[in-house]
Amino acid sequence: MRALLLVAALALAAPAHAAERETYQVRHTTDLVRICATDPGAADYGTAIAFCHGILVGAYGYFLVSTAEDARYVCPPTPRPTRAKVMNDFVAWAKARPKHDQSHSVDTLFRYLAETYPCRK
């Protein structure tokens, strides 16, 4: 009987786990925007926003360490905007530019950052 209950529990949990994995696949801009725009009332809001912030911070951190300072084309102002502001503004910017929907999400992120926070040289 216990084995049957265990099998039933695993069978019910498997689709939920698979759905969660699919929810956090970021193939295109639309995927990242969907995650970053998760409704605050959604059960997975905290997970989605943490995931979104992780993508944004990780991509920007990689840009900083992989791009020589004199070659950077994104220069945030002082004081720096919050992660939440950048996230919300990126979502609004991307939604207003559907031509980027199927572009790689990080490419679109950097189009937004370059347009919003260009370096003044």
For the chain, the domains span 26-116
Place of tokens 């979502």: 91
Task: Assign 120 a pLDDT band (cuts: 50, 70, 90).
Answer: confident
**What is the percent of the chain where pLDDT is above 90?**
79
Higher confidence at residue 18 or residue 91? 91
pLDDT digit string, tens, across residues 17-69: 444 667 789 999 999 999 999 999 999 999 999 999 999 999 999 999 999 99
Q: Which amino acid is at 41?
A: G
Q: Which amino acid is at 108?
A: T
Q: Which amino acid is at 97?
A: R
